[in-house]
Structure 1
Amino acid sequence: MRLLGICNIGLGTQSGKQLSTENITGNRYLGEDRSMILINCFFSVGGAAINLLSNKPSDSHVAKYQVIHAVRPNTAASDSSYNCVTRLEDSQGLLGITTTKDLIQEAIKTIEANLTTLGHLVLPTSEKIQFIANYIARHFLGAKVKPYVPNFMKAIDHVITHVGGKHVLDEVEKNLKLSKTDMEASRMTLYRFGNTASSSVWYGLAYAKAKGRIKKGGRVWQISFGSGFKCNSLIMKATRPVDREEKNPWSGDHNDEFPVDLKSTEGGIPYEFKPSKKI
């Protein structure tokens, strides 16, 4: 299966393309229950239009990526998982999104299921052996050692994660033992565009393309998660070098300003979001 290419980021789409978008207007909460204003605070409007996948051999010469693996565990069969993020009416009959205390636990459980399946598919034998040896030592021999976290970057060249928020990216970086460079595309996406949910992984991929980092044979891992609870992983291999495109959202006068030093901008406002002069 091959991905023909990524067109420019935007809300519009054309025939023959697929749209991945986040539009908060339909779920905006207008009530007074503070536990249901999550979506008003954490999400931004955005979208990505992507050329359709094709399994025709005749399209191989124009394809930019080849889809290697797609892993999508969904734990909605569990009541606690299904209800951890849900849309409900408040006491006034207004719809809003609410979360439960089980959210983090269910998210971890679903993401672990995703990584377990993905690891079996992509990790080199050396990493699999270390993981199995660690598991046996902890569960059968009673050894007091920390769980072994496989090094996915031995099988992946670029990781683009769902930008659910700064704390989400911090946890992904910590738990998968990723470097600052590995997380750069996702952090810059959050800084410039906010949390655009499912489409954020395409903004992140566009960043890597704009920087000229996608080389022929390079493997890209996109990982996203959300209500359900579900966690998606997509592994793609570049069939040719993917150069900077004119309609890439990162192209233009400001592209060379990235990455920015987030420590020096802590609490600041990105230049794209200048306050109104009327304030």
Structure 2
Amino acid sequence: MTLTAAVLPKVAQWLAAAHECVTQPSPIHLLVVALLIVTATAYLALRPKTVYLVDYACFRPRSNFRYTKATFFEHAHLSPFLDDSTTNFIAAILDRSNMSDQTYVPPAFGYIEPYCGLDEARAEAELIVFPVIDDLLTKTRINNNAIGVLITNCSLFCPVPSISDMIVNRYKLRDDLRIVNLSGMACSASLTAVGLASNMLQVMPWGSHVLVVSTEIIGPSYYAGDNRSMLLGNILFRMSGAAKLLSTSRSKARFRLQYLTRTITAANNDAYRCVYQEEDEKGNLGIALSRELMNVAEDALKANIMATGSLVLPASELLKFLFFYVTKKMLFWWKVGPYIPNFSLAFEHFCIHAGGPAVITSVQHGLNLSNKHVEPSRMTFHQFGNQMSASVWYELAYIEAKGQMKKGNKVWMIGFGAGYECNTAGWVCIQPSSDVDGPWANYMDHHSTMSPTNAKQT
């Protein structure tokens, strides 16, 4: 009892002191708590928001727009501005391209001398843009008023009002919508638009949505001349379009944007002029492709990889690359090529711009990829031709249509475009698609038995 009587008063004093500290914190405690709150708030406000791809849709042309190689050659043979030598050149390119007879062109190309005025160009834009947006809105079930930003990219057709305004008018989007029109960037523009959407989402409220529409209206860009470097667009370009919905909300998202990097080499004159819109000696407007194009594309891709390799490659590959790089610098007499990292350790799937078999083969060899890795690109070009900026989305749809996309898989998109630009983006699959009614719905049985190694180079 004596011990208890002695201890209890001490315990009471300690409890009283502790209660006083809790109820009446000292100024230093208040300062520490305030600093913690400010630091946590600043961290949450300043850290980059994760961007997600809610879903995407690709344009599915109607069968009456089909343009066989025989039809193309017949029209070329009857053309008043093409001689026999140029016609034979076109036939050779078509044969070596390995394009199927299931590619599609706008109605203006159905004439022996294709004609595309302003009304025809607008009709072509509506023919592509509206159905692909309809498909996307059906997939995502998003309310039109939830779209806060609209970004469109179309290089060669820039009407007044713009294509973005055309979309706003059709879907009655809200009047405080932010709209951006990208032009002149050619085949790299789709990933440029995705990068812009990602940047805008960083300063928008959490859960905002951005609609990105990528297309190319090829009717107005038809070249009515005989300059061979300017005829390739007529031969290879086909109808295409893709719509994407991006958000900072993970709810219902199908992919997460891992990174996106743009490399612009326009400071170099050869790069700047390798894809160049100009008039020929007879005043015919067209897109000229330089002989330096492949070398320029290779240099741009190398620069892009140097900037992004550390973001995506595993440590083992980075160490191997560093070892070879340092060794070559120190042992300059050592005749050995640069080490090519194994990118299949970083990505399961590859979507390379389907500019043509030669472009795909060049990237395949440069990155040491297998035939299976480039199959989506080869098959997209074979089935649909050069679809410009939208091609990477048709390739993604091909992978999903074959049931190859799994949760957690990583996808590497590589786009090339005028300027010269190389854009790359990494995506991580969150939810594989259950939609079987995409652009490949009617072709999978045929393509499941095809080998991409049969593709020829142009």
Higher strand share: 1
Q: Indicate which of 308, 316, 326 corresponds to 1:126.
A: 316
Aligned to 2:379: 188
C-alpha deviation, 1:102, in angstroms: 2.9
Aligned to 1:231: 422
C-alpha deviation, 1:263, in angstroms: 7.6
C-alpha deviation, 1:35, in angstroms: 2.9
Q: Indicate which of 146, 150, 167 corresponds to 2:337.
A: 146
Amino acid across the alignment from 1:208: I
C-alpha deviation, 1:128, in angstroms: 0.5
Aligned to 1:3: 53
Aligned to 1:67: 257
Aligned to 2:450: 261
Aligned to 1:19: 213
**C-alpha spacing 1:12/1:230, structure 2 compared with 1 (3 Å):** same
Aligned to 1:42: 236
Q: Once the two structures are superposed, what CA deviation does each residue of 1:231-274 show, in whole Å capped at 9, x if it has no partner?
A: 1111011112x13414311124x42332343589778xxxxxxx
Aligned to 1:179: 370
**C-alpha spacing 1:168/1:100, structure 2 compared with 1 (3 Å):** closer
Aligned to 1:270: none
**C-alpha spacing 1:262/1:209, structure 2 compared with 1 (3 Å):** closer
**C-alpha spacing 1:125/1:164, structure 2 compared with 1 (3 Å):** same
Once residues 35 and 48 of structure 1 are traced to their aligned partners in structure 2, the CA distance between those partners, rounded to angstroms, is: 28
**C-alpha spacing 1:54/1:76, structure 2 compared with 1 (3 Å):** same
CA contact (8 A) 1:23 1:44 kept: no
CA RMSD between the two structures: 1.9
Q: Once the two structures are superposed, what CA deviation does each residue of 1:41-93 show, in whole Å capped at 9, x if it has no partner?
A: 12111111222x112xxx31210011010011011122221112101112222
Aligned to 1:273: none
TM-score, structure 1 normalization: 0.87
Specify the SS of the correspondent of 2:129: coil
Once residues 386 and 451 of structure 2 are traced to their aligned partners in structure 1, the CA distance between those partners, rounded to angstroms, is: 16
CA contact (8 A) 2:58 2:393 kept: no
TM-score, structure 2 normalization: 0.54
Specify the SS of the correspondent of 1:63: coil
Aligned to 1:114: 304
Amino acid across the alignment from 1:12: V
CA contact (8 A) 1:244 1:251 kept: no
C-alpha deviation, 1:137, in angstroms: 1.5
Specify the SS of the correspondent of 2:264: coil
Aligned to 1:216: 407
Unaligned runs of 5+ in 1: 268-279
Unaligned runs of 5+ in 2: 1-50, 61-127, 134-143, 148-210
CA contact (8 A) 1:73 1:230 kept: yes
**C-alpha spacing 1:35/1:173, structure 2 compared with 1 (3 Å):** closer
Q: Would you say 1:161 and 2:352 are equivalent positions?
A: yes
Higher helix share: 2
Larger displacement relative to structure 2 (120-129 or 25-34): 25-34
Specify the SS of the correspondent of 1:48: strand
Q: Indicate which of 280, 285, 293 corresponds to 1:103.
A: 293
Amino acid across the alignment from 1:21: T
Greater relative CO, 1 or 2 (CA 8 Å, sep 6+): 1
Identity, % of aligned positions? 37
Once residues 204 and 67 of structure 1 are traced to their aligned partners in structure 2, the CA distance between those partners, rounded to angstroms, is: 17
Of structures 1 and 2, the larger Rg is shown by 2
Specify the SS of the correspondent of 2:219: helix
